[in-house]
Chains A and B, each alone.
Chain A
Amino acid sequence: MLLTSCFDVIDEVTMHEDGSGEFLLTVNMSKSKTKLTSIMLLDSIKGFRVPSKEEINANINNWVEFLENSQGISNVKKTTDFNEFIFTLGFSFLSVENINQAIEKIVIKNKQSTESFNLRYEFNPIKKEFSRHYTPNNADKNRYDKLDQEDKTIFNEAVYVSIVRFNNEVANCTNKKAVISKSGKAVMIRTFASNIFAGNQNLSNTIQLK
């Protein structure tokens, strides 16, 4: 079918007062499951090889193994649901610096340019300030720009959600797109994936807690 597909990517960070916390990444492609089930029956689509379930599982397991061996990271968990096409990967961290180190290692491992160090977390428990620094990546933008219009529409409909939760209430935050929850203890940024790839969406945010 020619219907456009869509998916959601959600990253959730739950911060504790001591600077430790939990991270959970969810990729939910349930809305496109009919299309994906059909695609999984093929060997390739539009010149791209379609990975098998085994290959997808092996890839996720590699990530799990990598995270388990990363400093300050523990309790690594994954879920794979090929009926609904929902995949999650989560872990506990002692400090947000452990997430930064893991990202750095991934970049080095994949031999990407230093430009790919484009996501960093900071948490200052004394100042009660949480920051996420994000710089749009030119390599991603170039790849996105090269996609044909039809492929771009996939990202036009894909939603990216970033949530950070705290024990304390939030006083304010710098990103105008960010929304503070009713409870006052969580912040959400919600945007289309295409905005991120095109470099149109600022994902950086500094959150001041009360």
Chain B
Amino acid sequence: MKKLLLAGFLIAFQSLQSQDLIQHIPQNSSIILEVNVPKILEALPLTEFENSDIGKELLKTLSEVFESRITSLTDIGINTNFSQYIFMVDKGNNIEFVYLLPLTNANLIQQKMEQNQNKIINESGYNKVYHYDPITTINWNESLLSIVINMKIDEYGGLPDTGNSSSNYLSKISSTITNNTSFNKHKTKSKETAVNFWMGNLSDNISSLIKFDKKTGSLIATPNLIKNLYNDYKSFSLNLYFEEKETRITTAMEFSPEYSKTLKKTFKHRFNKDLFNYVDIDNSLAYFSNNIDTEEALKQNLRYLDEKVIPNTAESSYKEEMSLGITLISTLLDEEAIGEIIKGDFLFVLSGISEREVEYTTYTYDSSFNRLPVVKTKMEKVPDFIAMASTGENKLLPKTISYLESKNFIENQSGYYKINAGTEVPFDYYFMIKNDIIFLGTSRSQFQNIVNGSYVPRVSSKSKKEILKGHTTFYIGIGKAQNYISKEDFSSEKEYNKILDLIMNTPDIFFSAKKIRGNTATSSLLFMTPEGYKNGLEYIMSFIDKLSK
């Protein structure tokens, strides 16, 4: 059974156009995963997949499962012209997980079921087989196969009496998920995806999932608590695209209008564009930006704790005290003053790798081989980074700096400070406050140039736009590291070539979490396809092949 399920799931790599099986998915489905097989095969033709290591392994497994030599995925009878679906239907006392896939012919499935001496029940127009642990029904007709896992838990965590009540999902229905506005919105946007996922009301789903999880027994009693806590989280959707230049994952999280307002206030802060004057993002190995309104974030989070979390989670006898505590914290914290010190925009840039001279102790020996310590120097490669945050505070920070200087924690270097961090940290750190920006970094020359006003920033308009639009963004460009390594850094040429190959075949990664629009927060994660590959999927398959060797 397990092998058959596994085989079924793996086949999802293969199949597609649209005898859209969506017409079989009921309106009360709350989680839907679509594997758009034709789209996947567009990126990676079936024969190429079958010749990859994963493909070969899959064909081998399928041959074992079906006890017949399977040379192509089409041999099994899966229709690769249509999408396959996995979905969850909450029926109140039980939950059904369904795997629905189209067939070109059902002969092999029928044959397999007969071979395994399963009791095949012939219903009108379809056949079915039961398994009891977990309760699973496998249904098929000439053009469709559905595997329905029925999870039912009574209040004592026992198994249900029978699984006979499962639906077969082989027929089109009138009341389908397409009546759900949130799903339709997702579906419209997910046409070009290879895989897409949609979850209806998150709070409902979380409580349903917890309800039947025997292992988390202690939570069974409290689905309402979880439901209330996640009440502001509505639908969630994810799309995966394999495109020529990139593999893209986008997500959309819908919140309640009330919570969206809270988040909008937190994210309404404007990113300080002056931060772009002090960095070279175009040649950087990585960057990370974050932008929130610190003052609003503190206020809103405390309010949210007081109004939402405590009433829903605290023991009723302590609710008043906890609420009082939050009010007290809110009174003591001066959110505005904190928001002045750290306004909320932050930019970290891993600029590159630089060389620095490092002293080390070794020994020479005199004419009697007495050991004499000598200090030598060598060049070491160290990462260079700079981190910046806006500030509007001009009383506390200067005082703090004077104090740190008087206590020798920092050393004035005419315009900037060297942090005396001792040997606890492997690099030298520099620090300064200039033009209402707090700087912390490792490159002395960068600090000197910023102080002298001779620093030349390099930030493309594309990077600027991304950072300004998102509340959190990051970029990792491992490929650029090839400019910073040389054969001398490695113990052998083989080792060097191995690392170089790895670096050059690692995709650049971009992430951006956008500010909320309407009630929805979106994010995107891009993996750029390295040179020499047709598209993202081909790259991933080749990467997995390499890993398995």
B359 nearest CB neighbor, chain A only = A30
In the complex, the answer to whether A1 meets B360 with C-beta atoms within 8 Å is: no
Q: CB of B156 within 8 A of chain A?
A: no
A86: chain B residues at CB < 8 Å are 361
B368 nearest CB neighbor, chain A only = A183
B371: chain A residues at CB < 8 Å are 10, 12, 26, 163
Contact digits for A145-172, partner B, Cβ 8 Å, 1 yes 0 no: 0000110010011000001010000000
The one of B369, B382, B490 that contacts A188, using a Cβ cutoff of 8 Å: B369
In the complex, the answer to whether B423 meets A37 with C-beta atoms within 8 Å is: yes
B491: chain A residues at CB < 8 Å are 4, 150, 153, 156-157
- Chain A residues numbered 41-84 whose CB sits less than 8 Å from any CB in chain B: 41, 82-84
Alpha-carbon separation in the docked complex, A38 to B423 (Å): 10
B378: chain A residues at CB < 8 Å are 31
Q: CB of A120 within 8 A of chain B?
A: no
Alpha-carbon separation in the docked complex, A1 to B380 (Å): 9
Contact digits for B363-382, partner A, Cβ 8 Å, 1 yes 0 no: 10101111100000010111
A3 nearest CB neighbor, chain B only = B489
B361 nearest CB neighbor, chain A only = A30
Contact digits for B417-449, partner A, Cβ 8 Å, 1 yes 0 no: 000000111100000000000000000000000
Alpha-carbon separation in the docked complex, A149 to B368 (Å): 37
Interface size on B, residues (CB 8 A): 26
B331: chain A residues at CB < 8 Å are none
**Residue from A30, A41, A188 with most neighbouring chain B CB atoms (10 Å):** A30
Alpha-carbon separation in the docked complex, A53 to B369 (Å): 32
In the complex, the answer to whether B363 meets A153 with C-beta atoms within 8 Å is: no
Alpha-carbon separation in the docked complex, A16 to B485 (Å): 52
- Chain B residues numbered 270-293 whose CB sits less than 8 Å from any CB in chain A: none
Q: CB of A34 within 8 A of chain B?
A: yes
In the complex, the answer to whether B362 meets A28 with C-beta atoms within 8 Å is: yes
Q: A1-B489, A2-B499 are in contact. List 15 more A-B contacts (CB 8 A).
A: A3-B381, A28-B363, A30-B361, A34-B426, A37-B423, A37-B424, A41-B425, A149-B492, A149-B495, A153-B492, A153-B495, A165-B369, A181-B365, A183-B368, A186-B368
**CB within 8 Å of B: which residues of A?**
1-4, 8, 10, 12, 26, 28, 30-31, 33-35, 37-38, 41, 82-84, 86, 149-150, 153, 156-157, 163, 165, 181-183, 185-188
15 example contacts (A-B, Cβ-Cβ < 8 A) are as follows A2-B489, A2-B499, A4-B490, A8-B362, A10-B371, A34-B382, A38-B426, A41-B426, A84-B361, A153-B491, A153-B495, A163-B365, A163-B371, A183-B367, A183-B368
**CB within 8 Å of A: which residues of B?**
358, 360-363, 365, 367-371, 378, 380-382, 423-426, 485, 489-492, 495, 499
The list of the 5 closest CB pairs from A to B, nearest first, reads A186-B369, A153-B491, A182-B367, A30-B360, A37-B426
